[in-house]
Structure 1
Amino acid sequence: MSRADDARAWLRDRGAESIPHAGGSLYEHLDRVHARLATHELSEDERLAGLTHAAYGTDGFPVALLEVTERRRLREIIGPEAEALVYRYGGCDRDRTWRALPETQTVWSRFTGHAESPTPAQVRAFADLSIVNELDVFERSAEIAAKAGDYFRSVFPTWARLASPSVMEDCQRVLTIG
C-alpha cells in the first residue's frame, strides 16, 4: 500500500466519510484537495498533506480527527514533512496570518499562540494548500462562496509571489480574478 492508501484507510477509520463538509463528506473534500494538488504536479508530501489537512481541525473547520498531542501517529502514516505541513495549516491563526503573509512570511499558530517563520519552500506549500483547499470549498458551497468570495479575492492575489504559478492560475480562474 502507498502512503496515500494508508492515509485514506486512516481517514475512513476516523470517520471522515460521515462528517459533513461542503460538497459531501470531509473524506470527499480531502480526496478532492489531494487530487487537485496532484494536477498542479506538487510533491507527494504536499499531496499527502492535502489529503489529511484537516486532521487537527482548522481555523475554519473545528472538527478534529486527531488531537495535536498525537502528532506521532499521523507522522507514521504520511511522513514528517507532510505532517509538519498539516500541523502548520491546521494550526494557522488565519486572522493573524493570511493578510500579512506576503510581507511577514510568518504563520501564527492557534495551537500555541506563537509565530513560526517557515522556509520559502514551506511558505509556498502552505500557500498552495490554503488556496487549493478554499477553491474546493468555494466551488461546492454557494453559501461559502457568497460569504468568503470577496475575502479570497482580496487575499489570494497578494500571495502570487508565494504560491506556485499553476495554483495561482487556478485561483484566478475559479475566483474570476483579473
Structure 2
Amino acid sequence: MGPKENILKQLEELSVSNFEHLNGDLLSHLLETFQILEEWGSPEFLCYAGLFHAVYGTFAYQNPVIGTNARKEIVGIIGEKAETLVYLYGSCDRTHLYGQFGNTKSIFHKNRFTGEITTLTRSILNDLCELTAANELQLALSDNSFRNRYAAELKNLFSRMNPYLSSKAAILCSSVFSA
C-alpha cells in the first residue's frame, strides 16, 4: 500500500533524497523502514514514525534533515503520536537505553540532546523497540556487510528486547541475525 501521497510529498520536500545513507539515499531507507512496519501490520502512526524516524538525526546517523525546533511542522504532517516517537527515537542515547534491556524492569530514555532521563511507558517502549527492529532489519536486509558486521551484537540486543517486540518483528530479527 505504501505511505499516503501527500505525506510522502511533504517528506520529499525536506530533500531527504539528497542525504546519503548506507547503500543509497535516506529516502530509500525511510521508505523501506515504513514498508517493513506496514508488512508487520503495525498501526499507521508507527509506520509514519518509521517513515520519518531519522529526520532529527539519530544516535548513529547524526545528520539531521530538520532541526528539533521544527517539531510542530512534523506533527502537522504525521500527527502528534508518530512525531513523539520520531523525537524519542532521534533523541535516544542508544548506549544508555540498550544496556538496560534484560537487566531492569523499568527502562529509562536518556535524551542525547538535553541529557534528560525519563521513564518510558510499556506502550511507548514497545513502539520504540518495534521501530528499532524495523530500522536495523532494513539495514541488514539491504547490506550483507552490515549484517555480517553487526549480526552478533544485534542478535543479543533483540533477544533482550524480545518481550517488547511483536511476534513478526521477533521472528524476523531471530532469523536475520542468527548468524
Please report the TM-score for the alignment, with normalisation by the length of structure 2: 0.91
Distance 1:176 1:114, change over 3 A: same
Q: Does 1:110 align with 2:107?
A: no
- Name the aligned partner's letter for residue 48 of structure 1: Y
Within 5 Å, give how 1:120-159 maps onto structure 2: 120-159=122-161
Give the corresponding residue for 1:6: 6
Q: How many pairs does the alignment contain?
A: 176
- The aligned residue for residue 51 of structure 2 is 51
Is the 8 Å Cα contact of residues 7 and 51 (structure 1) preserved in structure 2?
no
Could you tell me which runs of 5 or more consecutive residues in structure 2 were left unpaired when the two chains were aligned.
none
How far did residue 145 of structure 1 move?
A: 2.3
**Conserved 8 A contact 1:101-1:107:** no
User: Residue 126 of structure 1 aligns to which amino acid in structure 2?
Assistant: L
The letter of the residue matching 2:123 is A
- Tell me the TM-score normalized by structure 1: 0.92
- Residue 81 of structure 2 aligns to which amino acid in structure 1? E
d(CA) in 2 for partners of 1:162 and 1:85? 15
Q: 1:19 corresponds to which residue?
A: 19
1:171 to 159, 173, 178: 173
CA–CA separation in structure 1 for the residues paired with 2:151 and 2:114: 29
Give identity over the alignment, percent: 24
Unaligned runs of at least 5 residues, structure 1: none
157-166 or 121-130: which moved more? 157-166
How far has the Cα of 1:8 moved from its partner?
1.5
Q: CA RMSD in A?
A: 1.7
Query: Per-residue CA shift, 1:89-141, capped at 9, x if unaligned?
Result: 01110111112134232211101111121211110000000011001111222
Q: How far, CA to CA, are the matches of 2:5 and 2:52 in structure 1?
A: 12
Aligned counterpart, 1:60: 60
Shift of 1:156: 0.9
